[in-house]
């Protein structure tokens, strides 16, 4: 066993659970849980997975907790090109291709673009965004987004809050946390106050040549994903937020 006690304590505190609460939900005595956290007792594989389930750990972090206790992984790590992922690749391609004429992207846990459809290439290509590019890395130069997005300060503030919440749910993701710091280092974004209620959704207003495109997104993820990377992958499907934007994309589709 390596650092299982410290990893277990980290996750329990991250999930804001007391020893008593975690022990109760995992159907183990508080004394035994205390011994696990001090290293006085060694967990069984079944116990590690039970604790991970109660704490709601992502698959990759469940593997990490198992490794800390000296066990082999529970969930596979496969490249997207693997034969076992063929149906998954087909499903993702089907979704983004049929979402045209509206833009769609496939993103991994670190907001790296895995693939994108034709309309997304037309929208983001001129700004240098394509397959393999990390949207988080691009935050090192906020001027890129400011040139692409008309209401960037508002969107940047919302993005910082989203990334912060996403990192917290996962128990901390360094890449997301660094992106939040980069965003909030901008005085305008840090000082932004969200507007009062009165609209259903915050649109992102993109510039594509002379066109002004108001869009909003919905995200799809795979249910019952066993593969580690796939469990965190998301498909962003973008939709027009007003009639003028819908008309522009309808024209692109007709062309």
Q: What value does the mean pLDDT of the chain take?
A: 92
For residues 115 and 45, membership in a common domain is answered with no
Q: What is the pLDDT of residues 186-234, one digit of tens each?
A: 999 999 998 766 678 899 999 887 889 999 999 999 888 889 989 889 9
Question: Is 24 a member of any domain?
Answer: yes
pLDDT at 1 > cutoff 60: no
- Residue 98 belongs to a domain with what CATH number? 3.30.450
For residues 31 and 124, membership in a common domain is answered with no
Domain-ending residue, one of 21, 43, 68: 68
For residues 245 and 169, membership in a common domain is answered with yes
Residue 214 to residue 20: CA distance in whole angstroms? 49
Question: Is 158 a member of any domain?
Answer: yes
For residues 60 and 112, membership in a common domain is answered with no
- Enclosing domain of residue 215: 83-254
Q: What pLDDT sits at residue 255?
A: 52
For residues 51 and 163, membership in a common domain is answered with no
For residues 55 and 10, membership in a common domain is answered with yes
- Residue 35 belongs to a domain with what CATH number? 1.10.260.40
CB proximity list for 80: less than 8 A, separation 6 or greater:
88, 89, 114, 229
Q: What is the pLDDT of residues 84-111, one digit of tens each?
A: 999 999 999 999 999 999 999 999 999 9
For residues 102 and 218, membership in a common domain is answered with yes
The answer to whether 11 and 72 are in contact (CB under 8 A) is no
Question: Is 209 a member of any domain?
Answer: yes
Give me the number of domains the chain comprises: 2
Mean pLDDT for 161-169 is 91
Q: What pLDDT sits at residue 181?
A: 95
For residues 63 and 96, membership in a common domain is answered with no
User: The pTM is what?
Assistant: 0.84
Residue 152 to residue 142: CA distance in whole angstroms? 9
Mean pLDDT for 63-89 is 93
For residues 238 and 137, membership in a common domain is answered with yes
Give percent of the chain above pLDDT 90. Answer: 73
The answer to whether 241 and 216 are in contact (CB under 8 A) is yes
Q: What pLDDT sits at residue 160?
A: 95
For residues 34 and 132, membership in a common domain is answered with no
Q: What pLDDT sits at residue 17?
A: 95
């Amino acid at each position: 066993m390596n650092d299982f006690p410290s990893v277990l304590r980290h996750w329990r505190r991250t999930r804001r659970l007391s020893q008593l609460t975690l022990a109760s939900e995992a159907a183990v005595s508080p004394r035994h849980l205390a011994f696990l956290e001090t290293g006085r007792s060694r967990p069984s594989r079944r116990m590690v997975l039970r604790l991970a389930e109660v704490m709601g750990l992502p698959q990759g972090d469940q593997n990490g907790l198992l490794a800390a206790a000296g066990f082999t992984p529970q969930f596979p790590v496969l490249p997207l090109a693997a034969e076992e992922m063929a149906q998954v690749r087909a499903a993702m391609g089907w979704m983004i291709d049929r979402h045209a004429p509206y833009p769609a992207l496939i993103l991994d846990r670190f907001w790296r673009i895995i693939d994108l459809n034709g309309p997304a290439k037309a929208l983001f290509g001129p700004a240098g965004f394509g397959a393999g590019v990390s949207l988080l890395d691009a935050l090192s130069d906020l001027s890129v987004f400011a040139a692409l997005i008309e209401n960037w300060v508002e969107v940047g503030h919302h993005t910082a809050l989203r990334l912060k919440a996403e990192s917290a749910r996962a128990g901390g993701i360094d890449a997301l946390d660094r992106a939040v710091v980069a965003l909030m280092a901008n005085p305008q974004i840090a000082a932004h106050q969200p507007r009062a209620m009165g609209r259903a959704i915050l649109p992102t207003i993109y510039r594509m040549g002379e066109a002004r495109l108001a869009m909003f997104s919905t995200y799809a993820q795979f249910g019952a994903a066993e593969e580690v990377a796939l469990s965190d992958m998301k498909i962003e499907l973008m939709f027009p937020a007003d009639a003028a934007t819908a008309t522009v994309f309808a024209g692109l589709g007709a062309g």
